[in-house]
Amino acid sequence: MSSHRKLSYSLAINEALHQTMAADPSVFLIGQGVKSPWYVGDTAQGLLERFGTDRVIDTPVSENAMTGAAVGAALAGMKPVVVHPRVDFMFYAFDPIINEAANWYYMNGGKLPVPVVFWGIINRGGEQAAQHSQSLHGMFAQVPGLKVVMPATPYDAKGLMIAAIREPNPVVFIDDRWLYKLEEPVPEEIYEVEIGRGNVVRPGNDVTVVASSFMVQESIKAAEMLVKEGINVEVVDLRTIKPLDENLILASVQKTGRLVVVDGGWRTCGLAAEVSALVSERAFGALKAPVVRITLPDCPAPASAILENAYYRTSTDIIRAVKSIL
């Protein structure tokens, strides 16, 4: 077994599905496009051929019912993964996800857990405009009863998908098409990345940059530029955004005294606001400068490429933010 075998982010997810489905007959995949090579990328490739139409179920356009069916199957002892090829389409499924799945365990005194994975793909850019570009993790993270993971690397994509499937409670797994081609060594064996654990992906002493998903890659890019100017940024990859790895964030800020929070979601009541609030409550004394948030503006995603460029945040914005508090 080679520990240097490289895998793309999307194929890392694919391998997680292959291995968990092979290991556990109660795991199945349901959602739009799972049989189509041009719908969910290559994340579902080979699954239909290997596990058949009973366990790899392409569906009509019925997000509410299909997601509810996954929740019901979970209550009946299965471990469903329900995929939404764009998170935007999950709004139709908010009822089964939020009202039902998230609340079931608590509202029934812990009698029956709901081991379901709600997999939503962020698929933005390309002048697709507002209803095909959204990142809704902040909304999910606000709901008690949902764990929310957002892998930034192929290694984490595989490990978090496996952990999400094995987790007895509902997990929202959000990946990003902009990461699909990213490659790195990924172990061939089955392994978990623990839900609720972040990761310092780049150590540094000057400023802490907390990010998740695609924005981790932009943060690393920013850190690589900044180090040339003698600025050492510590990049914290949240990996799980609910529950947050609070101690990891706090420890980093205790060390650096400065914080930039980077999020691919909207500003108001978003993930960046949450991290910022956590730090001001629990590490206020360590702060040498105000916390800076880099988020999407509170604005729908526009079509025009020029406006898209103004809308999405990049390493340039992160560099500017870091410099603004030094």
Partner 1 sequence: MKGDHSGNLNYPRNLLVSFHRQMLRIRLCEEAFVEPILAGEVHCPCHLYSGEEAVAVGVCAALTDRDYVFGNHRSHGHYLAKGGSMREMVAEIFCRETGCSRGRGGSMHLIAPDVGMLGSAPIVAGTISLALGAALASTIRRDGRVAVTFFGDGATGEGVLYECMSFAALKKLPIIFVCENNYYATHMPISECRVGREIHEIARPFGIESRQIDGNDVLAVYDAGLHAVEKCRAGNGPVFIECLTYRYRGHVGPDDNVQGSHTDIRPREEIELWREKDPIKRFEGYLTDQRIMTQEELNMAREEMTREVTDAHDFARRSPLPRAEELERYVFA
Q: Applying CB under 6 A, does 178 fall inside the site for ligand TPP?
A: no
- Provide the CB-side half-sphere exposure for 140 (13 A, CA): 32
274 part of the active site: no
Quick check: 306 binds partner 1 (CB under 8 A)?
yes
Amino acid occupying residue 134 = Q
Catalytic residue among 4, 15, 84, 132: 132
The strands making up 240-242's β-sheet, listed across from edge to edge, are 56-58, 27-31, 79-84, 117-122, 171-176, 147-149, 240-242
Instruction: Determine the Cα–Cα distance for residues 303 and 315; give it in Å rounded to an integer.
Output: 22
| 92 is an interface residue for ligand TPP by CB under 6 A | yes
Rounded-to-integer distance, Cα 126 and Cα 186, Å: 29
Closest distance between ligand TPP and the C-beta of residue 56, in Å?
A: 18
Stretch that binds partner 1, among 7-15, 59-67, 103-111, 175-183 (CB under 8 A): 59-67
Q: Are 176 and 10 in contact (CB under 8 A)?
A: no
Minimum separation from the CB atom of position 92 to ligand TPP (A): 6
For 211, phi and psi rounded to 5 degrees? -145, 175
Is 183 noted as a catalytic residue in this protein?
no
Q: Which of 39, 94, 105, 191 binds partner 1 (CB under 8 A)?
A: 39
Give least dist CB 67 to ligand TPP, A. Answer: 12
User: How many CA atoms lie within 13 Å of 135's alpha carbon, on the beta-carbon side?
Assistant: 29
* Residue type present at position 317: D
Cis previous bond, 243, omega within 30:
yes
**Residue 220 structure tokens:** 């690393």
Pick one of 89, 173, 214, 266: the residue that binds ligand TPP (CB under 6 A). Answer: 89
Give the list of residues 6+ apart from residue 244 with CB closer than 8 angstroms, or none.
Answer: 196, 198, 238, 274, 275, 278
Would you state the torsion angle of the CA atoms of residues 302, 295, 8, 186, taken in this order, to the nearest 10 degrees?
Answer: -170
- Residue with Cβ nearer ligand TPP (19 or 32): 32
* Binder of ligand TPP out of 61, 110, 189, 284 (CB under 6 A): 61
Distance from chain centroid for Cα 267: 17
Report in angstroms how near the CB of residue 130 gets to ligand TPP at its nearest. 12
Which listed residue (15, 63, 100, 218) is catalytic? 63
Give the residue with the Cβ less far from partner 1, 94 or 105: 94
Q: How far is the CB of 76 from partner 1 (least distance, A)?
A: 22
Query: Quick one: 57 or 207, whose CB is closer to partner 1?
Result: 57
Report what 203 binds from partner 1, ligand TPP, none; CB cut-off 5-8 Å by kind: none
Figure out which of the listed residues 69, 286, 303, 325 binds partner 1, where binding follows CB under 8 A. Answer: 303
Which positions touch ligand TPP (CB under 6 A)? Answer: 32, 61, 63, 89, 92
Q: Which residues are catalytic?
A: 63, 132
Which positions touch partner 1 (CB under 8 A)? Answer: 32-33, 35-39, 58-65, 88-89, 91-92, 126-132, 297-300, 302-307, 309-311
